[in-house]
């Protein structure tokens, strides 16, 4: 059984005080009503906050912490960059790779994303590989072509394992208030799973968790949580509010019997 996931990406938001207040409120409230082993929860906080949050949560907390990005190299003269080793040393276990804003705001191409995925694996971080299409790709019928190229380039030379995490996030739905219809999300996540089965093995595809990201809210999560091939959500805007993220996380946990 695939354990469903509720992952919050805070992006470039919050002060440290606000970040810690969020954790104080959200974590106890969630695990008063959700069994720890029925839901994977992660917060992708700004890098300066990972260590203070880890200190507050403790090493045995069921909540994972992740970096929002990492550099392609292990170390070196790269002013301002954050390495995978740095993330691990402050308590991160996960990292986002290829988020749509990194691709389309910061200009990262598929080759750069592939290097970052390789670096994350080498540094023993759990990568959450994000893939998705622009609106023009969808309207022209090229969604699967775009996503295929992203997947093939990223995973070249690597073995997808059952612990892998993929996130389908249509770019036109990120931070816009527009979300993919549940049927479209299910169709794409099912197709991504079939790609993993064909490229690797059916057993791997059955165990890989695929998340949906794109204007997820407390109001629409109930629809996504019911989808067979959607194993949870990568939440942006709604994940900044502990009350909203609590509703989302509970809905996802209910899918897994939590």
Residue pLDDT tens, the chain, 258 long? 799 999 999 999 999 999 999 999 999 999 998 999 999 999 999 999 999 999 999 989 999 999 999 999 999 999 999 999 999 999 999 999 999 999 999 999 999 999 999 999 999 999 999 999 998 888 888 899 999 999 999 998 877 775 779 999 998 777 667 778 899 999 999 999 999 999 999 999 999 999 999 889 999 999 999 999 999 999 999 999 999 999 999 999 998 666
Per-state percent for the chain, helix, strand, coil, to nearest 5: 45, 15, 40
Q: What angle do CA 106, 7, 158 make, to 5 degrees?
A: 65
Q: Which residues contact 153 (CB under 8 A, 6 or more apart)?
A: 110, 111, 113, 114
Instruction: Enumerate domains of the chain plus CATH numbers.
Output: 5-255 (3.20.20.70)
| Catalytic position from the list 101, 108, 133, 169 | 169
Q: Helix, strand or coil for residue 129? A: strand
| Catalytic position from the list 99, 101, 108, 133 | 99
Contact criterion met (CB below 8 Å) for 198 and 228 = no
Name the CA dihedral angle for 11, 55, 217, 228, rounded to a multiple of 10 degrees.
110
Is 99 part of the annotated catalytic residue set? Answer: yes
Cα–Cα distance between 256 and 89 in angstroms, integer? 32
Kindly state the helix (H) or strand (E) to which residue 63 belongs, with its residue range. Answer: strand 63-67
Report which DSSP code applies to 170: -
User: Residue 136: its pLDDT value, please?
Assistant: 87
Contact criterion met (CB below 8 Å) for 31 and 6 = no
User: Residue 159: its pLDDT value, please?
Assistant: 73
pTM greater than 0.85 (yes/no): yes
């Amino acid at each position: 059984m695939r354990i469903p996931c509720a992952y919050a990406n805070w992006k470039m938001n919050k002060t440290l005080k606000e970040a810690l207040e969020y954790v104080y409120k959200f974590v106890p409230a969630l695990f008063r009503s959700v069994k720890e082993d029925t839901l994977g929860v992660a917060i992708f906080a700004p890098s300066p906050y990972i260590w203070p949050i880890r200190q507050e949560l403790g090493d045995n907390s069921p909540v994972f912490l992740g970096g929002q990005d990492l550099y392609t190299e292990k170390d070196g003269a790269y002013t301002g960059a954050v390495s995978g080793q740095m993330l691990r040393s402050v308590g991160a276990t996960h990292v986002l790779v290829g988020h749509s804003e990194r691709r389309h705001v910061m200009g990262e191409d598929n080759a750069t994303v592939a290097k970052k995925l390789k670096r994350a694996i080498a540094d023993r971080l759990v990568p959450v590989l994000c893939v998705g299409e622009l609106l023009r790709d969808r309207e022209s019928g090229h969604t699967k072509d775009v996503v295929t190229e992203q997947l093939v380039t990223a995973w070249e030379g690597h073995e997808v394992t059952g612990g892998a995490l993929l996130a389908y996030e249509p770019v036109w739905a990120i931070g816009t208030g527009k979300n993919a219809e549940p049927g479209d999300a299910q169709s794409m996540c099912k197709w991504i799973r079939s790609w993993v089965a064909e490229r690797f093995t059916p057993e791997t595809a059955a165990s890989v968790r695929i998340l949906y990201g794109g204007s997820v809210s407390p109001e629409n999560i109930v629809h996504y949580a019911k989808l067979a091939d959607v194993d949870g959500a990568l939440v942006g805007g709604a994940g900044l509010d502990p009350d909203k993220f609590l509703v989302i996380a509970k809905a996802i946990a209910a899918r897994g019997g939590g």
